[in-house]
Structure 1
Amino acid sequence: MSQAYVKQTIENNVGYITFFTPEHNAMPSPILKQLELAIKDAGKNDDIRVVVLKSGGARTFCAGASFTELVAINNLEEGKRFFSGFANVINAMRKCPKLIIGRVQGKAVGGGVGLASATDYCLATKFAAIKLSEISIGIGPFVIEPAVTRKIGQTAFSQMTIDAETFYTADYAKQKGLYADVFDTVEALDDAVLALATKLASYNPEALLELKRVLWQDTNEWSVLLIERAEISGKLVLSDFTKQKLKSYS
């Protein structure tokens, strides 16, 4: 699995969307765009009644933004365009007419926490610690904030954002409402995801659609808000502080 990809498969009316990059599933622009389109396609596919979002590999669910691409950003437009990739994925998940189950097998950092937060129901392993590290490199979790705060609350979001270099345990994430349940092994996680997805796929599709609408009511402004937040991050990534920080990691 050395090449980045986004794949979609369908089994028993469950659409599985899997993303992968060799850099611990850190997300460059092309993968973000492919993920956005895959989610939109799943929403339009009548053979899919429920979606499972997962990542390839055994260790990290998603390491957030691709540092390689962040370092290469040279102007505000490029910065806004990159962070809009995360905004567009979250908005696609929000607008998708199918319920989305998150399958988080390992650590989630930054944008990875945003993706988990934008699912409708998220299951994880005990290895799926979470961290919002953005402020430590001179930017901030501005694009993902509405999704994360909606799931774990303002207090927990503030704590994680300010204590930016700490990984919070999967149990913490469960206590705060990000994860519905936490399992000891990936095998147990996959069994639970399959059981839930199979059950949901057998339910009335019209009822599931109405539930999705209720779950995401009062979020229509995100279509504009998240792009505005992307511009903030796009500006900050150009700062000398952030440039030096990113280079120190490369």
Structure 2
Amino acid sequence: MMKIVPPKPFFYKGGEQAVLLLHSFTSNTIDMKKLGKYLQQHNYTCYAPLYRGHGLTAEKLLTFRPTDWWQDVLDGYQLLKDEGYGKIAVVGLSLGGVFALKAAQELELSGVVTMSVPIHREASFLQKRVFHYAKSFKQLEGKNEDQIHHEITQLQQMSIHSLVEFQQLIQKTVDQLARITSPISILYGALDETLYKDSAEVIYQSVGSQQKKVKAYPNAKHLMTLGTDKDDVNKDILAFLNDLHW
């Protein structure tokens, strides 16, 4: 059976201005590596935490809760502070985008970028995401279809309480969008579900930020940092960061 090397957080040191990069649900820091390297080349320091359970089996993933993942975000922010970076922006994708909005409500930030953020997700949909992740992970491990089917059947018996909490976290964050006053850039893929276009518009209308923008990318799907329009996404994020009053 193939041994999968777990992903890790990364810390790309650049200039005095720091960016906290937050990956998506059931994914890992690979979401943010190309963007992180690009920003480092343009004199930004970047740190991407890995949420607990991510990059591991779906069974292990479900033993952690959104409070654990949020703590990983807080720890990442504090790491940058402890390293002497006084000015921090946050860039987040999907779940990472939800956390970026939450960070903008609770922490001192120079700016925030969100990508592919849902303003509502049912726990049942999140559970399907976990099953899809589980199947892909087990295939990478080299398990046969019978074994995969058996293990996913067992996985279906696990509690989805953490996913209900995830649904509640999204809703609570959306309910407090007016608290956000940091400059914000809201990005979404035109080829993603229409939910994300609608969500981007709600976020844009609801935040209290004076400096705000929303943009669609015609060839982008959900994982915008890895897709066809990734170079345009990277350039726009850099331009946004360069325009901030650090």
Q: How does the TM-score come out when normalised to structure 1?
A: 0.40
Q: How does the TM-score come out when normalised to structure 2?
A: 0.41
Q: Which has the higher contact order (CA 8 A, sep 6+)?
A: 1
